Amino acid sequence: MELNSAIQNGTEKDFTIAYNLYHVKLYRYFLKKTKSEEVSIELVQIVFIKLWKFRHTISEDFSFDTQLFNIARTCFIDFIRQKSIQRSRTFNLNDLPDLSLTIAPDTTFEATNYFDNITRSLPPARKKVFILSRIQGLSYKEIAGHLSISINTVEDHMSKAIRQIKTITSIFVFFYFALY
């Protein structure tokens, strides 16, 4: 318990002693969980930074090991959450539909080829509704009568088609400008 009060008082000498006593144990703890040397080293550093930063919260009621490994466990959970967030924000380019859009020599899109490529990723019914509305210029009521579906279904297909096309187009535009 004397290490608790020594760390709490905040002398660098006592902190160095704690580091020398526990950094290998923490490293092994993290290495076992992460299977990565770099991540383990980084997490050990974070634990000791937090220990120093919050040394005034060290309690005399619990052993130093318990408190240090509680900090380590919390750091590991934060690390896992951060990685999970990073994974959810990234996407695989192979999951995107084929976007082999043809660009003419004067760098303008050929309209028919553009619509063919964009609508290729739409489900058949949604594609049919989109083409009837945007290419052939039919109203929702005319499309509903032509396909024998309700106007609400036409509206639903159109909103989903437009949302999907916007997503695909924005991704294409992003990568087009990122490459040039």
Q: 96 near 175, Cβ under 8 Å? A: no
How many structural domains compose the chain?
2
138 vs 104, which has greater pLDDT?
Answer: 138
**Contacts of residue 113, Cβ cutoff 8 Å, sequence gap at least 6:** 101, 102
Please indicate, yes or no, whether residues 9 and 50 belong to a single structural domain of this protein: yes
Torsion-angle region of 137 (φ positive above 0: left; ψ -120 to 50: alpha; else: beta): left
pLDDT at position 102 is 41
Segments forming the whole domain that contains residue 33: 2-89
Tens of pLDDT, residue by residue over 39-89, are 999 999 999 888 888 888 888 888 888 888 899 999 999 888 888 877 766
Q: How confident is the model at residue 14 (pLDDT cuts 50, 70, 90)?
A: confident
Same domain? For 13 and 53 the reply is yes
- Non-local CB neighbours of 55 within 8 Å, separated by 6+ positions: 7, 8, 10, 15
Query: Residue 1 above 70 pLDDT?
Result: no
- Looking at 44, 60, 89, which one is the last position of a domain? 89
* Residue 92 in this model has a pLDDT that exceeds 60: no
Q: How does residue 107 score in pLDDT terms, banded at 50, 70 and 90?
A: very low
CATH of the domain at 45: 1.10.1740.10
Split at pLDDT 50, 70, 90, the class of 142 is: very high
Q: Are residues 68 and 124 in the same domain?
A: no
Please report, for the domain that includes residue 129, its CATH number. Answer: 1.10.10.10
The stretch 139-159 carries a mean pLDDT of 92
Query: Is 85 in the same domain as 111?
Result: no
* pTM higher than the cut 0.85: no
Claim to verify: residue 59 and residue 110 sit in the same structural domain: no
Asked whether residue 167 falls in the same domain as residue 152, the answer is: yes
**Whether residues 143 and 77 fall in one domain:** no
Q: Which residue has the higher pLDDT, 96 or 24?
A: 24
Radius of gyration of the chain (CA): 30
The residue ranking higher by pLDDT, 35 or 114, is 35
pLDDT > 90? residue 150 = yes
Whether residue 116 sits in one domain with residue 103? yes
Instruction: Tell whether 42 and 80 lie within a shared domain.
Output: yes
Domain final position from 89, 119, 150: 89
What is the structure's pLDDT at 103? 42
| Mean pLDDT score across all residues of the chain | 79
Is residue 85 domain-shared with residue 110, that is, in the same domain? Answer: no
Label residue 110 left, alpha or beta by phi (over 0 means left) and psi (-120 to 50 means alpha): beta
For residues 103 and 175, membership in a common domain is answered with yes
Q: Provide the 8-state DSSP code for 180.
A: -
Question: Distance between CA 66 and CA 76 in Å, rounded?
Answer: 15
From 89, 107, 139, give the residue that closes a domain: 89
- Residue 88, pLDDT score: 64
